[in-house]
Structure 1
């Protein structure tokens, strides 16, 4: 197995409160995407909705995956004023979240 040099993936699983309008969720996602242009170590953001046909998602409906150049970059992102402001807004609409940071590893067969 080979670890990607320095790269860190930041995963957020979210379940929004039942009374949050779909348009509000779209606005939150657009605002999240703008952080890529405001916080230099944040290299990309991908997101999607759960599409599994099993009931193992534990109520989480949205997945957000960001890529950072290093674990130090994640720390810079977490402390950045634009992220702090956004996170407070995001959390006000979320019923629950899970956040995981990991260094991606490629399996060589």
Structure 2
């Protein structure tokens, strides 16, 4: 199976995704070890659950994702936000919380 993790760099695309399908948005940084682990986990989820839009927003310094992170009130990477039916249903920060979320994702989306 091919990964369907989407890398987003603008708010219009991100809003369109979150408004129209269940979505998990990761806010990561390229040099962060925890971010890399989370990207791998969401990549695996995207292969198994194609009905969920799995999105990665890189908020490394000098990236366009920093603006998106600011719009979502994300200050720390890695963080994640979950949408279902156009509404935010869960938000978390860090690898451990994301790992717990992935274990129970079905109750949110």
TM-score of the pair, normalised by structure 1: 0.34
TM-score of the pair, normalised by structure 2: 0.34
Question: Higher helix fraction: Structure 1 or Structure 2?
Answer: 2
Tell me which structure has the larger Cα radius of gyration. 1
Tell me: higher relative CO, structure 1 or 2? Use CA pairs within 8 A at least 6 residues apart.
1
